[in-house]
Structure 1
Amino acid sequence: MKQYQQVSVHSGIMDASPHRLVQMLMEGALEKIALAKGNMANN
């Protein structure tokens, strides 16, 4: 499943505009921040 997701992301990157690439980076960063906040709340 993980490999399929990587292929999907890779193909999405190849077709993305520069603005979409920045959006994808920000979405990933916000997702990781939310995960970190949740882990901090749960110790």
Structure 2
Amino acid sequence: MVTNLAFAGFTHLALHSLSTLAGVASFPLFTWLTYVFERMGVIRVTTAW
């Protein structure tokens, strides 16, 4: 029972840190893609660049 709880806690922490890292890494890429698409006229973004 204790090992199951420890494993669940470790898995949760690992997934959380991975998702946080992925979010931090993908944010600049997402911003850049949004900017490029907006420049190309594919999408209209009402944000002042």
RCO comparison, higher one (Cα < 8 Å, 6+): 1
Unpaired runs of 5+ residues, structure 1, are 1-16
**TM-score normalised by structure 1 residue count:** 0.58
Q: For this pair of structures, how many residues does the alignment match?
A: 27
What do you get for the CA RMSD once the two structures are aligned? 0.6
**Greater helix content:** 1
Give the number of the structure whose alpha-carbon radius of gyration is greater.
2
Identity %: 7
After the TM superposition, list the runs of 4 or more consecutive aligned residues in structure 1 that deviate by more than 2 angstroms.
none
**TM-score normalised by structure 2 residue count:** 0.52
- Which residue is equivalent to 2:5? 21
Unpaired runs of 5+ residues, structure 2, are 28-49
